[in-house]
Structure 1
Amino acid sequence: MGGIVIIGAGECGTRAAFALRKAGISDAITLVGSEPYLPYERPPLSKPVDGAVQLKPICGAQALEASAIDYLQGVSASRLETESRTVTLTDGRVLTYEKLLLAAGARTRRLTCRGAEHALAFRTYADAAAIFSHAEAGKSVAIVGGGLIGMELAAVLRSKRVAVNIIEAAPTPLGRAVPPRFAARLHARHVDEGVQFYLGRGIAEITDDAVYLADSGLVLADLVVAAIGVQPDMALAEAAGLATGNGVLVDHFLRTSNPDIFAAGDCAAISLSCGGHIRFESWRNARSQAETAARNMAGGNDAFVALPWFWSDQYDLGLQVAGLPQPAHQSVVRCLADGELEFYLDGGRLVAAAGLGVGNAIAKDIKLAEMLIAAGVDVDAAALGDPDVNLKTLLKSARAA
């Protein structure tokens, strides 16, 4: 047999490879990455330095060699045979495995309107390099999609004095993942910075210099970027007969329907105790799932229990959301000197928290809120809303209880 094969060399797959060594695995580990670079981090792609896109490696070639991780770059898996335990690569090579980790991540959703090929995607280093090489001061960019990726890109482009238009099918931007009060504040900030919004609008056609809206409107643009979200990369799993839904379906231990195959990161949909499955699309969860999958592939039996969390930087504002805020939750707002926090309680128990502030103004409070959530105890709503009550004090009381 061929040891362990990991499909996907992003944050999740790469961290899993090193975590397997840390867990004591001495068998061969093969890491398969579709891009012709060393494994790199995606968040810096939207933050160019001196006009150049950052390619920030997760690890160097020496680290891979020192850990005896065989990194196959610029090649993808084209076929998975579970009975023979083999993976066929796009260059014709065939790998065998004892255990396999699917960490293929997600792919950008593609526009389906006429002329969709004129719109650039924004997911990989090559995508970012293409966008920023054309986005110069005085140019105009139309971003299709008012989610986190589109709004973050808009903020960076405005700092370069690029005219930005955001076209969003929903009535408000950031409506899917960001709490309404913070989505509204970020929307207002973008308007103040000169971003033009076309909300509740569909697209009929894209040309090389304009976007034609479904209601006959027209948005002129030197460049069009599609930022309408991602979908899990699960084609390999589907073709191999693994259970799939909104991603590759896994249990609490990140095992797929085949006991020798695990899945983690953006491609994995994790079983919920209340039923159904959920995907967590964030940098931190990719790392946490990588470590859990590695321990379990090494013979452990650890359930994945990390709290969902994500962040977004737009202009000088930092957003963080921990947990899964729901409309049915009781909302408690705490005003700070440089920001605002919103806590979400379910039956008196803190289950989620979000914050928006200048720079890292709310980062420490969100971290304390995460600890309160993990404590799993009831928290006084009035105390949460009072900025004079230190969250550390509440955490000490919770731990004492």
Structure 2
Amino acid sequence: MTEDQSSSGPDLTRGIPVTALNGGKCLGHVGKQDVLLLQVADEIFAIDARCSHYHGPLIDGLVVGNTVRCPWHHACFDLRSGEAIRAPAISPLSCWRVEKRDGHIFVENKRDEPREIPPVSRSAAPERIVIIGGGAAGFAAAEMLRRHDFQGSIVMLSADTAGPVDRPNLSKDYLAGSAPEEWMPLRSDKYYSKKNIDLRLRTEVVSIDVTGRHAVTAGGDKIAYDRLLLATGAEPVRLTIPGGDQPIVHTLRSLDDCRAIIAAAQAGRRAVVIGASFIGLEVAAALRARDVKVRVVAPGKYPMERILGPEMGDFVRVLHEEHGVIFHLEDTVVAIEGSKVQLKSGAVHEADFVVAGIGVRPRLALAEQAGLAIDDGIVVNAYLETSVPGIYAAGDIARWPDPHSGRNIRVEHWVVAERQGQVAALNMLGRQEKFEAVPFFWSQHYDVPINYVGRAEKWDEVVIDGNIKGKDCTVQYKADGRVLATASIYRDLQSLEAELRMERATL
């Protein structure tokens, strides 16, 4: 295949007319590298054309000031530096030197200027930071600390057997068999040693001494800290029914959990998924990709009705049924005996394995032991600091004052956890930056992505624009005339615009 065939748009080294920046955007290439030109006022930027997260096409994204937001998962990049300033992207984009000559734009070389990252004040920075938790929030915090040239000690304590992984993929492509295991780590093992991050796996923290400022591990080690981040995340709710503790029953949270389900899917062809949540249905879709026969049992009338409402929930049901999933809605599993799964309705179904996706609960034992303020999560202020100075919390466990709803909320979303970890890191360095991001998550069901911005626990009106069945829509969830959340299918730009409107409508 020739270079022209494998690359997008015009060859920018040969120049393009300034007038070719139709709508302020133009996709071209330099050699085999796709490059995106963006015009903001009188300035023209040239950056890598695809997001560094899952390679979303940035030409379809949203330019806000001197930043561009990815249409797929709402990462945000600084156009001048290429810096990934908002998760889920972590790695920066390359920036290219732009020249104007004779009414044309030429791009030939990457810029090699140092990135514009504010330095850490040595006098204000702590010497020792301890992070408890090896998930999204903990990793994002450690990465941000080193990105901002923090030179002190970082100790990251994780009870997991593997380093931080791309957890959303555990219920999506990795479980389906379309993503290799080498894609799963957020960073290689060498990254932690290179960045001098002391990542200790299989390490359970049993207590925190807030007076002596140290964490105590199950092995008796005392790890001192000047600043501490609690990022212990959530754990799956376990079945309490008879037979719910059998080896054929699985939950999904860790890489080990996912490997166990994959092994079960390779050995057996019949599965029962308990729960019609996002995780439960993503697992169902992934198992269908492995040609496993799947039954989903859930008490609600519609899948995911609590989050998406009946219209979207019914669409999701039909979508899964078209792919062979059998639903048993308004029903529950009351017992599991050997391979027999008994339902409240009286039906009994054979299963080689069962996956329970009935929710998660925040891991709060350490916070309770340390005497931190608790209210359905660890209570933090706008800077993600807990009731004990010097201790911060981020991710699934943190309950923060949301400026967009005017309420204290706790959200169990990957992107929120990463963004909170980043903000907590900056505040542990003395930045005093408020966490004000609008909650966002995405879910994948076969070839259908669902993006969701905001948070709507209750609503009195649902406004649908487009056609849900046609997989082309935005759905607004409103209360008292105010948009609380927006779900969308194949309307990436509208999802970004909805997020921006919510950001600007801070109460």
Change (3 A) 1:51 1:300: closer
Cα offsets for 1:171-205 (capped at 9, x unmatched) = 32212222432211011111222211112223221
**Aligned partner (choices 334, 339, 350) of residue 466 of structure 2:** 334
Change (3 A) 1:142 1:53: farther
For 1:257 and 1:91, locate their aligned partners in 2 and report how far apart those are by CA, in whole Å.
28
Q: Which moved more, 1:192-201 or 1:48-57?
A: 48-57
Is 1:144–2:274 an aligned residue pair? yes
Deviation at 1:335, TM superposition (A): 4.0
For 1:159 and 1:374, locate their aligned partners in 2 and report how far apart those are by CA, in whole Å.
38
Deviation at 1:52, TM superposition (A): 7.5
Deviation at 1:29, TM superposition (A): 0.9
Change (3 A) 1:166 1:241: same
Matching residue of 2:498: 369
Identity across matched positions, percent: 32
Is 1:43–2:172 an aligned residue pair? no
For 1:149 and 1:376, locate their aligned partners in 2 and report how far apart those are by CA, in whole Å.
31
Is 1:353–2:486 an aligned residue pair? yes
Matching residue of 2:215: 87
Deviation at 1:328, TM superposition (A): 2.3
Once the two structures are superposed, the pairs formed by residues 178-193 of structure 1 within 5 Å of their partners are 178-193=308-323
Gaps of 5+ in 2: 1-125
Partner secondary structure for residue 92 of structure 1: coil
Give the residue type in structure 2 aligned to 1:312: S
Change (3 A) 1:79 1:137: closer
Matching residue of 1:22: 147
Give the residue type in structure 1 aligned to 2:216: T
Once the two structures are superposed, the pairs formed by residues 169-248 of structure 1 within 5 Å of their partners are 169-248=299-378
Partner secondary structure for residue 245 of structure 1: coil
Deviation at 1:10, TM superposition (A): 1.0
Give the residue type in structure 2 aligned to 1:58: L
Give the residue type in structure 2 aligned to 1:327: W
Give the residue type in structure 1 aligned to 2:272: A
For 2:295 and 2:439, locate their aligned partners in 1 and report how far apart those are by CA, in whole Å.
31
Give the residue type in structure 2 aligned to 1:372: R
Deviation at 1:26, TM superposition (A): 2.2
Give the residue type in structure 1 aligned to 2:505: G
Contact kept in structure 2, 1:31 and 1:71, CA below 8 Å: yes
**Aligned partner (choices 242, 249, 263) of residue 133 of structure 1:** 263
For 1:177 and 1:350, locate their aligned partners in 2 and report how far apart those are by CA, in whole Å.
14
Greater CA radius of gyration, 1 or 2?
A: 2
Once the two structures are superposed, the pairs formed by residues 303-322 of structure 1 within 5 Å of their partners are 303-322=434-453
For 1:218 and 1:186, locate their aligned partners in 2 and report how far apart those are by CA, in whole Å.
25
Is 1:343–2:476 an aligned residue pair? yes
TM-score if structure 1 supplies the norm length? 0.86
Higher RCO (CA-CA < 8 Å; seq separation 6+) = 1
**Aligned partner (choices 275, 286, 290) of residue 417 of structure 2:** 286
Contact kept in structure 2, 1:145 and 1:226, CA below 8 Å: yes
Give the residue type in structure 1 aligned to 2:160: E
Change (3 A) 1:52 1:284: closer
For 1:8 and 1:322, locate their aligned partners in 2 and report how far apart those are by CA, in whole Å.
26
Is 1:5–2:137 an aligned residue pair? no
Larger helix proportion of the pair: 1
Partner secondary structure for residue 144 of structure 2: helix
Change (3 A) 1:2 1:371: closer
Partner secondary structure for residue 321 of structure 1: strand
Contact kept in structure 2, 1:174 and 1:183, CA below 8 Å: yes
Cα offsets for 1:271-323 (capped at 9, x unmatched) = 34677531121121111101110111111211111011111111111111111
For 1:103 and 1:35, locate their aligned partners in 2 and report how far apart those are by CA, in whole Å.
13
Is 1:54–2:189 an aligned residue pair? no
Partner secondary structure for residue 494 of structure 2: helix
For 1:166 and 1:330, locate their aligned partners in 2 and report how far apart those are by CA, in whole Å.
26
Change (3 A) 1:332 1:120: closer
For 1:17 and 1:169, locate their aligned partners in 2 and report how far apart those are by CA, in whole Å.
40
**Aligned partner (choices 132, 157, 161) of residue 32 of structure 1:** 157
**Aligned partner (choices 289, 306, 317) of residue 159 of structure 1:** 289
Contact kept in structure 2, 1:179 and 1:354, CA below 8 Å: no
Contact kept in structure 1, 2:234 and 2:362, CA below 8 Å: yes
Deviation at 1:148, TM superposition (A): 0.5
Matching residue of 1:397: none
Contact kept in structure 2, 1:137 and 1:161, CA below 8 Å: no
Change (3 A) 1:52 1:335: closer
Deviation at 1:65, TM superposition (A): 2.1
Give the residue type in structure 2 aligned to 1:320: N
